[in-house]
Amino acid sequence: MSLVAAALERRGIPTVVIQLLRMVAKKVRPPRALFVPFRHGYPLGQPNNPKLQRQVLEAALALFEVPTPDIPLFAEFPHNP
Amino acid sequence: MGDLSEFSLKYKLFLRTYPWRKIDPVPFAEVTKPLSESRLGLVSSAGFVPPGQPPFDDTIRGGDPSFRCIPHDCDPSSLVESHKSDAFDHSGILADPNLALPLERIQELEAIGHIGSIAPRHLSCMGSITAPGRLIKNTAPEAAEVFIQDKVDLALLIPV
């Protein structure tokens, strides 16, 4: 995923990567990543839980609004566990 | 979660020893518009295949590096999730494809004006590609070209 993100960024398209494994993000270093505390196969939390899915999406999209971030920009979901 | 505890010993060892490609320098595109004016595209590594498009090829050593374009207006239930890995539970995505490709969720975000518009095509590739050379050299740039053509402003990438 992060390798595709890099290709998009090189063409001028900003990206956020949702990240299930912290270890991978730290090694590969996508430009912006949201760490989520879910297991593989469940990147937005739970099936048929639109509220939770929307919360994850909104947290990911919020990373586009961080002014002049330090890159790579890593954030956590949820902010206040 | 967020660590390796959910995986079997075999996958733990693989994930710990795999030579992950480090992106260096980290490319960085500036955000030039507010979210509410931006067009959003999604990229999923769940290996989603829309009706009428060829399946991913499981026989390619190191993983099939191709991608599929998914029309935003498709019926989410018509997508076939074909991620080949047996390391994770596929039942959540089978029950609700929005879990990995949130077409209906971003439709809602567009309706309330949180995002400006939605890409006419999203992208899906196969995850767990262990030999990413062709992905880096060919298919990732081709995927980027699709979003350039469709004037996508921001991309959200969702692994499984």
Query: Is residue A18 within 8 angstroms of chain B, CB to CB?
Result: yes
b or e along A62-80 (b: 16 or more beta carbons within 10 Å of the residue's beta carbon)? ebbeeeebeebbbbebeee
Mean pLDDT of chain A: 90
- The interface residues of chain A toward chain B in range 49-78, judged by CB-CB distance below 8 A, are 50, 53-54, 57-58, 60-61, 64-65, 71-72
The complex's ipTM works out to 0.94
Mean pLDDT of chain B: 88
What are the E-state strand segments in chain A?
15-19, 32-35, 73-76
Domain extent at residue B32? 28-158
User: Is B83 a domain residue?
Assistant: yes
Angle at A66 between CA A63 and CA A67, to 5 degrees: 155
B122: phi then psi, degrees, rounded to nearest 5: -105, 175
Query: Is residue A34 within 8 angstroms of chain B, CB to CB?
Result: no
Residue numbers in A near B158 (CB within 8 A)? 1, 18, 43-44
Q: Per residue in B115-144, pLDDT tens?
A: 999 999 999 988 766 766 777 788 889 999
Among B32, B156, B160, most A C-beta atoms within 10 A, so best to mutate, is B156
> Where does the pLDDT of residue B147 fall: very low under 50, low under 70, confident under 90, or very high at 90 and above?
very high
User: Is B23 a domain residue?
Assistant: no
Q: Tell me which of B61 and B106 has the higher pLDDT.
A: B106
**Residue A21 confidence (pLDDT) above 90:** no
Residue B158 to residues A68, B61, B87, B130, Cα–Cα distance (Å):
23, 24, 17, 18
Residue B120's contacts (CB-CB under 8 Å, 6 or more residues apart) are B71, B72, B73, B150
Specify the number of domains making up chain B: 1
> Where does the pLDDT of residue A81 fall: very low under 50, low under 70, confident under 90, or very high at 90 and above?
very low
Percentage of chain A exceeding pLDDT 90? 63
Query: Is residue B148 within 8 angstroms of chain A, CB to CB?
Result: yes
